[in-house]
C-alpha cells in the first residue's frame, strides 16, 4: 500500500505545477489570461487523450511496467521544460510530461477497486489524502523557494520524486496485475441500456462539477495575485489552503463513504462548493478568502472519493482499468477546456461575472445527482 500512496503523492505534483508557475509564465511570455488558460489546456488535453488509452491498456498489459515508465517520462519531460528556450518548446515538453502523468490514475484506481475488499471508502480517502497532502507541501515549499531558486529550480525539484517512484515501481514494488475473469465478459454482454444510461448521466454530473472546480482551481494563484492583491510567493501559500482543506476533506469523506449513501455525500459536497466560490466575488478581509479556499478544497476533495466509488460500481459492465480510464479521460478533457474558457471570460466579461457563470454547472451537477439517486432508490425498492 505504501508504494500506491507515495506514487499518488509524486504523480499529483504534476497536476498542479503548471498553475503554480502560471503567474510567472504570464510575465515571461507576455500572455493574456486566455493564452495562459491555453497553456493549461494543451497540457490537460494530452493528458486526457492518453488516459483513455492507458485505462484499456492496463487491463491487457503489465500495470507495473506502465507505471514505472510513466514516471520516468513525466520526470524527464518536466525537467527538460525548465530549460525550454521558447514558449513553443515549453509546450512540447510539457506535452511529453503529460503523457507520462496520464499513466498513473487509471491504473491505480483500478488496482484499488479490484483488490480492496474492506473499507474501500476509507482506503480511497487515504489514497486521495496522500495526493492532496503532497500538493499542499509543494505549494508551501515552492512558495518559500520560488524567490530563491526560480521557476527552473522549482520544475527540476518537482520532477525528482517521480524519478524516484519510477525506480521503485521498476525494481522494488509489487503491483497486482489484472486477472481476466470470464464473468466480467458476461456482465458486459448483459449490461442493459438502463445501466449504460445511468452511468453516462453520472459521468455528465462529474463533467459539470469538474468544469467549474478545475477552471477556478487552476487560476487560484493568478486570482490571488491579479484580483485579491497577494504577492506571488504569498499566493502560493494562500493556494495551499485549498489542499489543506482537501486533505481533511479526503480523510473525512473516506470514513463517511463506508457508512452513508455516496450519492448524498456527493450532492452535499457539490452544493457547498457554490458558496465557497461566491466569497471570491465579494470584497472581504484577506483572511476570509483563506477560509473560503479551505472550504472549497474540503468539499471539492470530499466529492472525489464518493464519485470514484460510484463510478466503480455503476461502471461494472466495463473493465476496471477501462472504466477509470474513461473517468480520468472525461475529467481531464473537461479540465483542459475549463481554464481556457474561464480565462476568456475574465478577459471579456471580468472576473466576477466569469465566476458567477462558472457556478451554473455546479447547479446542473446537483440536479443530475438528485435524479440518479431517486432512480437508484426506486430500483432497489422494486420487487425482484
CATH number of the domain at 197, please: 1.20.1250.20
Is 292 domain-assigned?
Answer: yes
In angstroms, the CA 156 to CA 80 distance is 8
Burial of residue 127 (CB within 10 Å: 0-12, 13-18, 19+) is: buried
pLDDT confidence of residue 179: 52
Note whether 131 and 101 are within 8 A (CB).
no
Is 109 domain-assigned?
Answer: yes
pLDDT confidence of residue 384: 41
C-alpha closest to that of 173 among 164, 184, 183:
164
Is 178 domain-assigned?
Answer: no
Is 340 domain-assigned?
Answer: yes
C-alpha closest to that of 357 among 367, 346, 370, 365:
346
**What is the CA 293 to chain-centroid distance, rounded?**
16
At a CB cut-off of 8 Å and minimum separation 6, what does 341 contact? 37, 215
pLDDT confidence of residue 128: 81
Is 62 domain-assigned?
Answer: yes
**What is the CA 210 to chain-centroid distance, rounded?**
8
At a CB cut-off of 8 Å and minimum separation 6, what does 124 contact? 112, 116, 254, 257, 305, 308, 309
Is 192 domain-assigned?
Answer: yes
Burial of residue 129 (CB within 10 Å: 0-12, 13-18, 19+) is: buried
Largest CA distance in the chain: 67
Q: Which three cell numbers stand for residue 47?
A: 493528458
pLDDT confidence of residue 100: 94
pLDDT confidence of residue 381: 55
Give the number of domains in the chain: 1
Element (DSSP H or E) covering residue 60:
none
Q: Is the dihedral of CA 267, 44, 59, 73 positive or negative?
A: negative
Residue tagged 432497489 (cell numbers): 380
DSSP strands (E only) in 152-216:
none
Q: Is the dihedral of CA 6, 10, 12, 16 positive or negative?
A: positive
Rg over alpha carbons for the chain, rounded to the nearest Å, is 20
* pLDDT tens-digit map of 73-112: 999 999 999 898 888 899 999 999 999 999 998 888 777 7
382: left (phi over 0), alpha (psi -120 to 50) or beta: beta
Note whether 355 and 217 are within 8 A (CB).
no
pLDDT beneath 70, residues of the chain:
1, 114-118, 143, 173-194, 233, 316-320, 376-384
Domain of residue 281 covers 2-170+185-376
Is 381 domain-assigned?
Answer: no
pLDDT confidence of residue 174: 63
In angstroms, the CA 328 to CA 314 distance is 15
In angstroms, the CA 49 to CA 28 distance is 29
Is 338 domain-assigned?
Answer: yes
pLDDT confidence of residue 189: 47
Query: Which pTM does this prediction carry?
Result: 0.76
Q: Which DSSP category does 171 fall into?
A: I
Residue tagged 448521466 (cell numbers): 201
Note whether 250 and 132 are within 8 A (CB).
yes
Amino acid at each position: 500500500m505504501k508504494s500506491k500512496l507515495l506514487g499518488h503523492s509524486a504523480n499529483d505534483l504534476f497536476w498542479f505545477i503548471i498553475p503554480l508557475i502560471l503567474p510567472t509564465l504570464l510575465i515571461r511570455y507576455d500572455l493574456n489570461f486566455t493564452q495562459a488558460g491555453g497553456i493549461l489546456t494543451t497540457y490537460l488535453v494530452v493528458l486526457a487523450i492518453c488516459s483513455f488509452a492507458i485505462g484499456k491498456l492496463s487491463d491487457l498489459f503489465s500495470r507495473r511496467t506502465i507505471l514505472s515508465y510513466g514516471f520516468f517520462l513525466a520526470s524527464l519531460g518536466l525537467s527538460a521544460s525548465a530549460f525550454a528556450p521558447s514558449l513553443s518548446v515549453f509546450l512540447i515538453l510539457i506535452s511529453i510530461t503529460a503523457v507520462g502523468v496520464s499513466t498513473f490514475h487509471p491504473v491505480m484506481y483500478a488496482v484499488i477497486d479490484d483488490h480492496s475488499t474492506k473499507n474501500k471508502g476509507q482506503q480511497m480517502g487515504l489514497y486521495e489524502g496522500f495526493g492532496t497532502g503532497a500538493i499542499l507541501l509543494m505549494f508551501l515549499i515552492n512558495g518559500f523557494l520560488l524567490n530563491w531558486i526560480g521557476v527552473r529550480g522549482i520544475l527540476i525539484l518537482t520532477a525528482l520524486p517521480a524519478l524516484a517512484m519510477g525506480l521503485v515501481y521498476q525494481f522494488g514494488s509489487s503491483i497486482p496485475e489484472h486477472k481476466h475473469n470470464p464473468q466480467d465478459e458476461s456482465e458486459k454482454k448483459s449490461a442493459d441500456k438502463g445501466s449504460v444510461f445511468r452511468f453516462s448521466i453520472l459521468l455528465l454530473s462529474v463533467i459539470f462539477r469538474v468544469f467549474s472546480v478545475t477552471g477556478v482551481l487552476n487560476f487560484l494563484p493568478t486570482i490571488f495575485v491579479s484580483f485579491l492583491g497577494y504577492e506571488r510567493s504569498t499566493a502560493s501559500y494562500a493556494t495551499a489552503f485549498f489542499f489543506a482543506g482537501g486533505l481533511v476533506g479526503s480523510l473525512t469523506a473516506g470514513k463517511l463513504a463506508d457508512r452513508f449513501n455516496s450519492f448524498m455525500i456527493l450532492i452535499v459536497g457539490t452544493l457547498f462548493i457554490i458558496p465557497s466560490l461566491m466569497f471570491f466575488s465579494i470584497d472581504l478581509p484577506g483572511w476570509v478568502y483563506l477560509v473560503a479556499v479551505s472550504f472549497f478544497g474540503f468539499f471539492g476533495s470530499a466529492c472525489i472519493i464518493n464519485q470514484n466509488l460510484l463510478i466503480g460500481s455503476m461502471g461494472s459492465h466495463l473493465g476496471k482499468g477501462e472504466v477509470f480510464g474513461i473517468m480520468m479521460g472525461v475529467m481531464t478533457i473537461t479540465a483542459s477546456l475549463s481554464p481556457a474558457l474561464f480565462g476568456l471570460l475574465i478577459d471579456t466579461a471580468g472576473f466576477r461575472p466569469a465566476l458567477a457563470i462558472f457556478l451554473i454547472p455546479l447547479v446542473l451537477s446537483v440536479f443530475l445527482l438528485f435524479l440518479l439517486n431517486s432512480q437508484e432508490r426506486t430500483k432497489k425498492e422494486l420487487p425482484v
